[in-house]
Amino acid sequence: MIAVRDRHAIIERLGADPLGNVVLLKHLAAFPRHTRAFQQLSPAGAATLVLLDTQASDYDRKAYPAAAYAALIRSDDAALTETLLAALPADGGIVFKLCSAAEQAVVQRHYPLARQTSFLSFTSPIRAPGRDGVTVTDSATDAMFALYRTQDHQRDWLSPLLASGRAFTCRIGSGAEPLSVCLAFESYGSVWEIGGVVTQPDQRGRGLGSRVVGAALGELARRGLLARYQVHEENTASIRLAEALGMKPLLRLTHYLHARQGVTTLHGNTGSSRA
């Protein structure tokens, strides 16, 4: 068994499967100063732990105030998962973000866990570009920003991505009064995430959401990029949309909370990057 602590080597190994490892890679890229990475290698495969200071993440800080750390694990083997647990801090609560029941079973033996929530990710095979009356652009109007904000995509986060070519927007309707919108943004390297899907309340039920997401999938295909579409487990409308567009399940990320007394942080100042 080989222990790896070199961050760049870990990222390079994870990057061989960017879709399968997108959650870990996204956190490492978004929070370079507030994550640590640990990896164990053996003939059975690899196991990786990414440890995040939750104070650096708006979502984790608000959703899990009792947790000082978020622990993300991706593992090929239970014995390797077991060895990673020695790297976990002894103080402060932890929210575990796990991709499989096998990982959960190993962690549960050492940390009593309370299930919190789960997110499903879908991806799409390369498909022929098609816009179906949808405008695809690298900008957004005030009305579009207002709609994106309802999905917690803030202007101060999205604007720099659009300006740098690391995001694009899709809309049906005029810029002044868009009927339906979505956006796509770089998650890690060639993997781009589709989100911010909003349709005006009086326009719902007309398939507009499917059209803007379909246009985003087509644009990603045109650029030779990989698509990730993430939804909350209770968002049945978005799950049906993904299935109707032929997207395939990629992974399920389930959050489990283990609360402890005494909260600390890893180091330094916090940031507001999304992950």
Please report the pLDDT score of residue 132 as a whole number: 79
Q: Which domains occur in the chain, in start order?
A: 2-119+253-258 (no CATH), 125-246 (3.40.630.30)
Cβ atoms 118, 254 nearer than 8 A = yes
Please report the pLDDT score of residue 29 as a whole number: 94
Length of the chain: 275
Cβ atoms 67, 93 nearer than 8 A = yes
Cβ atoms 230, 193 nearer than 8 A = yes
**Count of Cβ atoms closer than 10 Å to residue 132 Cβ:** 12
- Dig out the tokens for 21 from the structure: 């490892």
- Dig out the tokens for 68 from the structure: 């000082």
- Dig out the tokens for 197 from the structure: 């899907």
pLDDT tens-digit profile, the chain (275 residues): 788 999 999 999 999 999 999 999 999 999 999 999 999 999 999 999 999 999 999 899 999 999 999 999 999 999 999 999 999 998 889 999 999 999 999 999 999 999 999 999 999 876 666 677 899 999 999 999 999 999 989 999 999 999 999 999 999 997 688 999 999 999 999 999 999 999 999 999 999 999 999 999 999 999 999 999 999 999 999 999 999 999 999 999 999 999 753 333 333 322 233 34
DSSP 153-172: --HHHHHHHHHTTSEEEEEE
The three state secondary structure string of 195-253 is: EEEEECHHHCCCCHHHHHHHHHHHHHHHCCCEEEEEEECCCHHHHHHHHHCCCEEEEEE
Cβ atoms 16, 24 nearer than 8 A = no
Cβ atoms 170, 182 nearer than 8 A = yes
Element (H, E) at 50: strand 45-53
d(CA 24, CA 27): 5
Please report the pLDDT score of residue 92 as a whole number: 84
Cβ atoms 97, 113 nearer than 8 A = no
d(CA 170, CA 65): 35
Contacts of 186 (CB under 8 A, 6+ apart): 161, 166, 167, 192, 193
- Dig out the tokens for 266 from the structure: 């890893």
Element (H, E) at 82: helix 78-84
d(CA 63, CA 79): 31
Q: CB-side exposure of 111: number of CA atoms within 13 Å?
A: 25
Please report the pLDDT score of residue 129 as a whole number: 61
pTM tops 0.85, yes or no: yes
